[in-house]
Every structure is written in C-alpha cells, then in structure tokens.
C-alpha cells in the first residue's frame, strides 16, 4: 500500500498534523500488507534538534516505523521528502537524484515478501445448511412450545437447562458441528491490546459526541 503525503510548508506545523498522522498509522495497522508513506512533509528532519523533527521521530519509533531518507532533498538544503515504512520492510538502493524542480527525485527499491498465512482447524456449526422453515417446524413442536402450562412449575434453572437442551438438539440436527480450516493472519507487532483499547475509547467518544449533537440526517 502506497500513501502519499503533502504538508504545505506555508502553513504552520501544529499538533493537529501529528494527531492526524497518528490516526493514519492506526488505520494502516489494520492491514497486513506492506505499506510505504512518502511525500513532502516539509519538516526539516536533517536538523536532529528541531522540535518537530524530534516529535516525528518519536512518533515513528513508538509504532515501529522508520524514515529512510538521509540526504538533502530540497534546493535550499533540507531533507523534506521522506520515505517511511515499517521497520521490518526491506528498503535498498535509496537514491537522491537530480532536482526536478525545487525538490530532488527520491528513488528506492523495496523487496516485498508474501505474508505468511497460518491455518488452523476450528470447530463451528454449518450455519449455511440451516433451513429456517425446517428449523421452525421442529421448534414449534418441541417442549419449549408445547404444553406450556407445565413450564410454569419449573424453576429458572430448569427452564434454562430445557432451553439449552432443546436448542442444542435442534441445532445438531439442522446445522451440525463441523471442522473447518481457517486462515490466521499475522497481527502487527505494535498493535497490541492496549492500542485496541485506545481505539475503542476513541470510538466511544465519537458515539458520545454524536448523541450530544443529535442524530445526523
């Protein structure tokens, strides 16, 4: 996946840019394919003490990404055009060419490896075999739907057990348990349970804002 980024140098660099960039990386973490983020960031990363260069570097380190361009890419003598990938991505032959305008051409080679896909056997019901009409016809003549007067004398525990037994029997007849082989995609290393929780918290805040503003029409 290739993502092109352009941040106008005429605009002041604010915290919003880094917040938006962080959100983009969170979305990229949902994909298992290699990704490359490149473009004119208009951040002087060649000045290692520059506060925004430090902030960008810290953001990339925290999520397992690295920036590959080390030479000057602008006619004024700064490194503005960046190539960012995950740390495990194989980047080689990084070359800063001649100036096409006020920016130099940046080229590189990326070796893409096919993602390894693990498979595992799991037990699941054959839901596609379920006929709603046949299931309904057997349900209406089951103990759950006939002689309902007798159910009044049963305890809650007995009712729950009866419900479980009847439905299990019906499901075993209409959509039995089968073993299926499913693919297990490798997860991104840095996208752990903590970040998944943060994503949920962010989504929750969005729902709260929607409820406060009223329905969207």
Domains, the chain, with CATH or none:
2-114 (3.60.10.10), 118-181 (no CATH)
pLDDT in tens, 204-213: 544 443 444 4
Q: Are 96 and 78 in contact (CB under 8 A)?
A: no
Per-residue pLDDT tens digits for 88-121: 888 999 999 999 889 999 999 988 766 666 778 8
Tell me if 81 sits within 8 A of 38, measured CB to CB: yes
Cα(65)–Cα(57) distance, rounded to whole angstroms? 9
104 with 74: CB under 8 angstroms?
yes
Both tokens assigned to 72: 């000057």
Rg (CA), the chain: 28
Residue 45's nearest CA partner among 20, 13, 23, 16 is 13
pLDDT of residue 58: 92
pLDDT, tens only, 155-189: 999 999 999 999 999 999 998 888 888 776 555 54
Question: Angle 132-139/156-174 helices, nearest 10 degrees?
Answer: 140
Question: Is residue 122 a contact partner of residue 93, using CB atoms and an 8 Å limit?
Answer: no
State the pTM of this model.
0.52
Beta strands 2-6; 36-40: pairing state: parallel
Three-class SS state of 149: helix
Question: Taking the CA of residue 66 as centre, how many other CA atoms within 13 Å lie in the half-sphere pointing to its CB?
Answer: 9
**What is the structure's pLDDT at 198?**
54
């Amino acid at each position: 996946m290739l993502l092109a980024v352009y941040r106008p140098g005429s605009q002041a660099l604010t915290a919003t840019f880094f917040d938006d960039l962080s959100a983009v990386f969170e979305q990229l973490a949902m994909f298992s394919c290699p990704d490359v983020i490149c473009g004119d960031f208009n951040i002087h990363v060649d000045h290692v003490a520059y506060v925004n260069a430090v902030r960008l570097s810290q953001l990339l380190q925290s999520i397992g990404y690295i920036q590959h361009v080390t030479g000057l890419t602008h006619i004024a003598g700064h490194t503005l055009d960046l190539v960012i990938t995950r740390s495990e991505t194989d980047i080689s032959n990084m070359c800063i060419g001649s100036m096409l305008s006020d920016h130099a051409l940046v080229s590189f080679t990326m070796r893409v490896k096919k993602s390894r896909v693990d498979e595992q056997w799991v037990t699941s019901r054959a839901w596609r075999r379920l006929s709603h009409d046949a299931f309904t016809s057997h349900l209406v003549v089951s103990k759950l739907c006939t002689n309902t007067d007798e159910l009044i004398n049963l305890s809650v525990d007995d009712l729950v057990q009866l419900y479980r037994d009847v439905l299990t029997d019906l499901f075993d007849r209409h959509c039995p348990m089968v073993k299926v082989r499913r693919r297990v995609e490798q997860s991104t290393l840095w996208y752990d349970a903590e970040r998944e929780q943060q994503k949920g918290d962010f989504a929750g805040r969005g729902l709260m804002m929607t409820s406060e503003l009223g329905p969207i029409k």
